[in-house]
Amino acid sequence: LHAEGRGVRQDDREAFRLFGLAAEQGLAATQFNLAMFCENGRGVPQDVGEAARYYRLAAEQGQKMGQFKYRLCLDQGKGVQQDYREAACLYGLAADQGYGKAQFNLAVLCEHGMGVPQDDAEVARLYRLA
C-alpha cells in the first residue's frame, strides 16, 4: 500500500522496510519487489548488486519474474559476474512456465550458442512459443 499510496501516504522508504520484513520470511514476491526498489533506487540508494541478490532469492523459489530479471543480471553482468550458462538455465525455468520474454531470450542464446549448445530446432521451437 505504501509503495502505491493506496489508502496511506505514498512512502517508498516505508514500503521498502515492510517488504524487507516480508522478504525475511521467504516470500518470493516481496523479494522481487525489494529487488525492483534496489535496482531503481526507490526508498533506498540504487544498488544493482543488492537488486541481483534479491532477484536470485526470488528466482530460487520459482518466481518467474525473479528468474527472468536475475537472468538479465547474469546475461549483462549487472551486479553479478556475467554467466551465460546460468542465464540460459534460468531462462529455461521461466520459459517452462510459459513466460514469453524468457522463451524469446533463451532462443537468442541457443541461436548463438551462448551458455547452451547451438540448436536450430530448439531455436525455432522457442521462437514459435514466444
HSE of 71, CA atoms in CB hemisphere, 13 A = 29
Map grid coordinates 553482468 to a residue.
Answer: 77
Give the residue-averaged pLDDT of 88-114: 89
Task: Count the neighbouring beta carbons within 10 Å of the beta carbon of residue 85.
Answer: 11
55-79: per-residue pLDDT in tens? Answer: 999 999 989 899 889 988 998 999 9
Q: Which of 80, 73, 81 is nearest to 105 (CA)?
A: 73
> Model pTM?
0.78
Q: Are 55 and 86 in contact (CB under 8 A)?
A: no
CA dihedral 121, 127, 128, 130 (to 10 degrees): 140
Give the residue-averaged pLDDT of 24-51: 95
| Sign of CA pseudo-dihedral 24, 82, 36, 90 | negative
User: Considering the chain, what percentage of its residues have pLDDT values greater than 70?
Assistant: 95
Task: Count the neighbouring beta carbons within 10 Å of the beta carbon of residue 18.
Answer: 16
User: Considering the chain, what percentage of its residues have pLDDT values greater than 90?
Assistant: 59
pLDDT value, residue 117? 93
**Which range in 45-54, 72-81, 91-100 is most confidently predicted, on average pLDDT?**
45-54
